[in-house]
Structure formats: structure tokens, C-alpha cells
Amino acid sequence: MRITDYPVIDADILIIGGGSAGIMAAIRAKEMNPDQKVVIFEKGEIKYSGCIARGMDALNIVALPGVSTPELYVASNRIACEGIMDEPVNYRMAQRSWAMMKKLESWGVCFPVDENGEYEVLQVHPKGKFCVTMKEPELKTLLAKRAIDLGVSAINRTMAVKLLKNGEQLAGAIGMNVRTGENILCRAKSVILCAGGTARFGLPNNGNLYGVYDFPGNTGDGYCLAYKAGAELSGFEYTLIYYIVKDINAPLLYITLTRGANLLTALDEHREKDHPSIKSMLLDHFKEKGPLRIRMSHLPENKIKEIEDILFTTERPVCERFYKGRGIDFRSGEIELWPTETFLCGGHGLTGIRVNENAETCVPGLYAAGDASLVARGHLSGAFVFGEIAAENASEYAAANEAVELDTDQVDDFMKAKQSRLSQSGNPIPVEEFEYKVRRIINDYIRPPKNEYKLNRALWWMDRFRRELATMVRVNDMHDLFKVYEVENIIQCATLSAVASNERKESRWGLWHYRSDYPDRDDQNWLKHIVLTIGDVPENVETAHKKIEKLEGEHQ
């Protein structure tokens, strides 16, 4: 089979993932040059894709003039990251955050103001106030419409399965329709990876494969694409666990606690006075004081309605049905909290593709933004700002380069491997059952607390799962094939996480990297990045240590 057997499209910029970062990158690319061809490969539907899915209640990081500064944000986030943070990248994000907010506002995004015209700014960071209240239930649909109106070409239901290179330079990617299995090749002068983190990683307590905190379509695709293309990754030892609504994993804490709700332990101890961190709540839970609970029965009716309006419209409309099914009325009942599955994420955590202030990776022509990139704890602000930064620099790169040629041998190799997968119809194990086991083993051996024995067992299991994915897992149709690619990425991310966790021989970030064999934080030896790159084959992960980048001059 040759490349001519498959549709080939050309783009100046190919964006992989059309969530918050991807859609903003697409808009900015068209603003930079309306004539350039911008294509998005979107795994879902661009109108509702990504972690925000539809609406949002806050822009987490905004350095409002007169309220806070980029320098204060860097100091605050350095505390939250316990020192493992490249300061120039985070400074750049905070520096552009106010302009980004005003741009969104000019597009019709609602940031409520009081009778004096002041924004509501919440303190959810260790130092300073940066979180600006937003009330926009149609945020994603608004941005998607803007991108399409500007002429962005969105190819929905298409998973990027391989980045293509011409020598050391990126040349585009192969996409696959998740329903039909049809392939499409995009020949591109530059590529921006915005495919999110690894939400489907550990297994939720209720066993629901898709009942995860972030978008369940996020299976580490961006991480794996970048890794196999030669990019650097970091922060894979930062294995996040949130503490959130039991069985639905939906947002709640900042929405309720900042509006006067009470937080109680199972022993009826009040916890809301110090506005507790996720870390401190998890510690309470595991010290046999859990589960913690949210109580709102003391709040006035107008405040409860305000919370319901945010949760049931702006956040996730399914919340209303969930609470009704549980028989929970905020005026009389309580909301039980519980630890989530473990997951990997750049926006909420420190995991991602290493980028500089220009969103550049170490691979020429490859950029990254959003949860796929390492802009430590960047949240939605980081996705929007670095989506723009990536688009600006990718546009310049594309304009300076001639059209690229595709290496058809790379395409043929993928197509042969695809046919081999499709020949697995006689294997005994459904892919859903196999995924369940993979993620249960991640819970057993990679979810903290960690130690060398458990992490080595995780690596043993991942090697076994790679073999079994080819010899045991049944592929009946294209839907199964798509799921096999996702599980393959989950296994690769588990390998990366186990290797990084084994390398960092200390405990840091509370439970998120707690090693029972190295229980203390060790700044003298481990105040640095653990950087991962591909070895001779993907399962052979190379490790290196790199220093923390500090601000210089007037911004220190």
C-alpha cells in the first residue's frame, strides 16, 4: 500500500486536539495570517471537546493590574510546585493572562462584575489572588464557532496515531477516524500538540472506565506522539489524585467553599477555615478522618441557587441528574467527597512535553500547549495563553519553510501494523476487559504510595501487557482498533510514570509522589527535573536530570 491510496491534505499548521489550547491556537493562527491553512485533528466533536467540554466558572490565573503581578504568581506557584517549576514559562503565561481575559471578554465571554464594576477574584493559590470568576456556559461553543468562522478546518472524530518526520523536521501526521477506521494524512509545515493529558490512567473506585475527572478521551495521545517523535517529557512522577465528589468526579470545592459552604470530616470536624488544599484533604482521608463532606444547609437560598446554577449549567449539566438520583438536596443533605483515580496532567499538575517560553519542543516544527505541555499547573489560563504563543511561533516557522515532503516508508510501516492489529479478530479478550486490568494494575503499583518494588512490578506488567495487546486482545471492528491504540498509549504512559517515579528517590508533593522507601523531601539532591526521552524502542525510556530554569534580572 502506498501513500496515494489514502487522502492527503496540506496545512501550514496542523493542530492535534481541539480543546481549550487547540481551539485558541487555531483562532490565533488565523489572526496571525488569515490566508494560512490551519487544520485540527479532533478526537471528539470540536463544538464540545476537551476538558472544559462546554462551560467554565473561572479563569484560574489572571494577574489583574492593581491586584496581583506576574512576579507574585511565579512566587506563589513555586510554592505549590515545591520548587519543580521553570519560572520563565510560568512568568510568560501570567504576563499575558490579563490581555487574554480582556480578549475573551471582548468576544462576549461573561466575567461578572459587582455594582462598582469590580471583578470577583478568589484566593485559591498559596499567595495572592488570581482566580477570576467566569459565568460562561457556552464558552467552548463560542470559541469553536469563532474558529470555524475564521476558516479553520476541523476534522472531527479523528485520532492522531503517528507524527511523521522528514529527517529531524516534523512533516505532519496520520489521523484515523475513530468510527470508520479511515486514515487521513496531513502534510504540515508545523504541528501543535494540544491533545490533553492522561485522564484514563488509574481505575476509578466505581470501576467505570470513563468515570474520570478529566475528559475520558484523553489517553496520553499527545505525550506518546511527542515521545516517539523524539521530544523531551518531564513530570511523569507527579501522579495526581484529586479529592472530589464521590462517584462522579465533578468540580465542586472552589465553587462551594468560596461561597460559604462548610467542609467537615467524618468526625464532624470543620475544615473550611483555612481553605484546605487537595493535599491536606487527602491526608485527612487517609488518616481515617474521611470521607470529608460538603454541607450547605446553612446558606441563604440565593447563595444555594447561585451554586446550583454554576454546577448544573456552566460546569456539568449531568450534575443535576446525579444529585437528584442520589436524593441530595443542597438545602438539607451533604455531598460526600472521595479520592479520584490517579491521572497525569499538565494543567492541574506538572506532567507534560517540555516547552520553552515560545511553546517550542526540542523537535523542529513541533509545538505543544495545554494539558499536553509542561507549563506547571497552568490550568485554563495556561491552555489559552500558550495556545496563542504556540500559534504565533508555529505561524512564523511555517512561513519561513517550504512545503515538506512525506516519508512514505513511515506511512507504509504504520499501515502494515494497522493490518496486523485488524487480524486479531480470533483473540479471546475484549479490549474493554483488557483496559480494565491494565488500569487496575496501575492502581496497584503506580498509584502512590510508591516504592522500588512496586514500580519495578509495574514495569514488568507493562512489558507483559504490550505482548498481550497483540496476542490476547480481540479486534472485531474499527471501534476496537481505536480502543487498542488508546490502551497502547495508557501502557506507554504507565511505563513513563513508573520510570520517572523510580528515578526520583525522594518524596515530594505530598501523596502525589510519596515513596515509602524514601519518605523525605530532598532538595539538595532532587530539586531538578526528571527528563524522559525515547531509547532504541519506545519501552526503553532514557532518563536525564535537568536544572530548574529561574527568572533573571528585573523579574526575579
Q: pLDDT, tens digit, for every residue of 266-284?
A: 999 998 766 688 888 998 9
The DSSP 8-state label assigned to residue 518 in this structure reads B
Average of per-residue pLDDT across 465-491 = 97
SS3 465: helix
Q: How far is CA 340 from CA 9, 81, 197, 370, 447, in A?
A: 41, 20, 16, 21, 11
Q: Which pairing describes strands 56-59 and 131-136: parallel, antiparallel, or unpaired?
A: antiparallel
Inter-CA distances, 143 with 45, 86, 300, 373, 379, Å: 13, 29, 35, 21, 17
Q: If you average pLDDT over residues 179-208, what whole number do you get?
A: 96
Residue 492: is its pLDDT beyond 80?
yes
CA angle in degrees (0–180, nearest 5) for 166-167-173: 35
Higher pLDDT, 122 or 240: 240
Residue 274, pLDDT score: 63
Averaged pLDDT for residues 161-182: 95
Rounded to an integer, the average pLDDT of 208-215 is 92
Mean pLDDT of the chain: 95
- What is the rounded CA–CA span in Å between residue 556 and residue 552? 6
Share above pLDDT 90 across residues of the chain, in percent, rounded to a whole number: 87
Separation CA 73–CA 63 (nearest Å): 7
Which three-class secondary structure state does DSSP give residue 186? strand
Give the whole-angstrom CA distance, residue 429 versus residue 345. Answer: 30
Confidence of residue 4 (pLDDT cuts 50, 70, 90): low
- Looking at residue 126, what is its pLDDT? 86
Q: Which residue has the higher pLDDT, 474 or 214?
A: 474
Give the range among 171-180, 253-262, 488-497 with minimum mean pLDDT: 253-262
290-348, pLDDT tens digit by residue? 999 999 999 999 999 999 998 998 888 889 999 999 999 999 999 999 999 999 999 99
Average pLDDT score over residue span 47-76: 94
Which pLDDT value is given to residue 396?
98
Task: Round to whole Å and give the CA distance between 376 and 86.
Answer: 8
Distance of alpha carbon 206 from alpha carbon 215, whole angstroms: 17
pLDDT value at position 1? 42
Cell representation of residue 145 = 464557532
Cβ atoms of 262 and 523 closer than 8 Å: no
Cell numbers placing 274: 483555612
pTM for the full model?
A: 0.96
Task: Indicate if the pLDDT at residue 150 is higher than 60.
Answer: yes
Residue 113 pLDDT > 60? yes
Query: Which residues share a beta bridge with 174?
Result: 162, 185
The share of the chain scoring above pLDDT 70, in percent, equals: 98
For residue 545, what pLDDT is reported? 98
Q: How far apart are CA 3 and CA 377, in angstroms?
A: 40
Which residue(s) pair with 240 in the sheet?
A: 343
Amino acid at 201: F
CB 15 within 8 A of CB 38: yes
Distance separating alpha carbons of residues 501 and 76, to the nearest angstrom: 25
Mean local confidence (pLDDT), 380-389 = 98
Query: What is the C-alpha separation between 486 and 199, in angstroms, rounded?
Result: 11
CA distances 358 to 33, 466, 473, Å, are 18, 36, 42
Asked if 411 and 186 count as a contact pair (C-beta separation under 8 A), the reply is no
Q: What is the average pLDDT across 411-426?
A: 95
Domains of the chain, first to last: 56-136 (no CATH), 242-340 (3.90.700.10), 419-522 (1.20.58.100)
pLDDT, residue 553, reads 67
Residues with Cβ within 8 Å of 468's Cβ and at least 6 positions away in sequence, in order, are: 429, 434
What are the residue ranges of helices labelled H in 428-527? 431-445, 452-471, 478-503, 523-526
- Report the pLDDT value the prediction gives residue 555, as an integer from 0 to 100: 61
- Please check whether residue 290 is in contact with residue 284, taking contact to mean a CB–CB distance below 8 angstroms: yes
Q: Using H for helix, E for strand and C for coil, what is the string for 97-127? A: HHHHHHHHHHCCCCCCECCCCCECEECCCCC
Residue 343 CB neighbours (<10 A): 26
DSSP at 285: I
Nearest-angstrom CA–CA distance, 198 and 538: 17
- Distance, in Å, from the CA atom of 435 to the CA atom of 438, rounded to the nearest integer, reads 5
Consecutive H or E run containing 367: strand 366-368
Element (H, E) at 412: helix 408-422
Report the SS3 class of residue 421: helix
Quick check: 390 and 367 in contact, CB under 8 A? yes
Q: Which residue has the cell 516508508?
A: 409
Q: Cis (ω within 30 of 0) for the bond into 449?
A: yes
Helix ranges (H only) for 42-119 are: 70-80, 87-106
